[in-house]
Amino acid sequence: MDHQSITQAAHKLIAFHREAEQKNEWTFFVDQMYARDCVYTCEYGGTMRVVADGIDEIKATHYGRDMRKGWEGWTFPYQDVYVGEGGRVVTHWINRGPGLRPDGSHFDTPGISFITFNENLQIVRQFDVFDIAHQMHLCDELEAQGLLSAELKRNWVIPMKTKVIEMLSRNM
C-alpha cells in the first residue's frame, strides 16, 4: 500500500460522505468501503461507546440507526486528511448543523477519525471521537434559533444529555 493509494481511498470515503449528506442515506457505500470483518467504534465522550463488528452492524448502528433520522440539513465537511504508515489515516471533520449564527459563522463542532485500510483499500478499523459536551451546546444553540429537529432532540440529544449528566454526577 503506497501513500497515494491510501490517500485516494480516504478521498473516496469523503466523496461518499458528501453524497450521503445530500441523500440523507448513509449505508449505500459500506459494502464497498469497509471490509466484511471491520470494526467501527464511535466514542461519545465517555457516555456511550458504539462498536459495530462487521459491515452488517455498521449498517444497523452507526450509518443506519444513528444517522438515519433528524440529521437532515447537517453536513460533515472534512478539514484535513493525514496519511501515515501501514494504511493508517487520520481525518479531521466537522459536525455542522443547519443554518448560520447571527454573526454568519457556522454551527459546528470538530471530530476526528482514526482509520486503517487493508491491502484491498477497504477500512478494517475506524475509531471516531468528538467532544460530546461541545456537541450538546451546539444543539442548544440550534434549538434557540429554531433549527434543531424535534426528532433529533428526542432521539439523540435528550438521551445523550441524560447520559452525560448521569456520568458526571457520579461520586459527587
Residue 9: CATH number of its domain: 3.10.450.50
CA distance 107 to 95: 8
Structure-block grid coordinates of residue 90: 487520520
Number of domains in the chain: 1
Q: Residue 136 corresponds to which amino acid? A: M
pLDDT at 172: 84
Structure-block grid coordinates of residue 52: 459495530
Q: Using one digit for the tens of pLDDT, what is the confidence trace for 100-154?
A: 999 999 999 999 999 999 999 999 999 999 889 899 999 999 999 999 999 999 9
pLDDT at 1 over 80: no
pLDDT at 29: 95
CA distance 86 to 140: 40
CA distance 39 to 27: 15
pLDDT at 49 over 90: no
Give the domain extent around 105. Answer: 3-169
Higher pLDDT, 47 or 127: 127
pLDDT at 147: 96
pLDDT at 156: 87
CA distance 149 to 25: 17
pLDDT at 66: 67
Structure-block grid coordinates of residue 168: 458526571
Average pLDDT over residues 1-14: 94
pLDDT at 10 over 80: yes
DSSP state of 157: I
- The listed range with the strongest mean pLDDT (4-13, 45-54, 55-64) is 4-13
